[in-house]
Structure 1
Amino acid sequence: GCATAMRELFDRFTDVDAVVSSDIGAACCVQEVFRRGMRVPQDVQVVAYDGTYLTDMAGLRLTAVCQDFDALAGTAVARMMDAIEGRPVDSAGDVIPVSLREADTTRR
């Protein structure tokens, strides 16, 4: 799981100073950094990618790239309906904006 992945990351690369991962991976990273006696964000900055409720459950509020899940779902349904109804499916123009929520796990 993610705890093992983060442990292996820090075992293999001793000079890691930043990690970008899914929300669960970022939460596991914070735990591993603390387990090693290091500090977040002073020693390792952590950015989550998704922006789910997990970003508030890691002991620190995770800085996160937040996705608009309603827009993602709406776009996915629209493309699925295109396919079902025999219309060409072209998702190349589908751009779902994201936002950055700065919090406790990055420095300015």
Structure 2
Amino acid sequence: MSMVQTGKLQLSSTNATAVTGGDTSTFTQVTFPSPFPDSAAVIVIPFLQTFNGPDTPGLRIADVTTTGFKIRINELVSNGKALADGLHTSETVGWIASTV
């Protein structure tokens, strides 16, 4: 049987668009309300709930574990180059986490 948790947070970006894979130094840590079982495989699906900034924000997820994940707004990138400055106003982000 799968387990599902949901949540939301306010997220903004005061950093340049991240273009280096694996660098999560500008990500925000999210902790699940309750940890999933230790052996569980967990997926996280984020959704923007608002439209506050003029540039198109993408969402990056990293380091998903049974206790949480990292997330950041990352404005669009094409061929390794940022299409905007990366600075983004506060947006509401909803998320669903589930075992698979």
Q: TM-score range by the shorter chain?
A: under 0.3
Q: TM-score, normalised by structure 2?
A: 0.22
Question: Per residue, is there more strand in 1 or in 2?
Answer: 2
Larger radius of gyration: 1
Query: Higher relative CO (CA 8 A, sep ≥ 6), structure 1 or 2?
Result: 2
Question: Per residue, is there more helix in 1 or in 2?
Answer: 1
Q: TM-score, normalised by structure 1?
A: 0.21
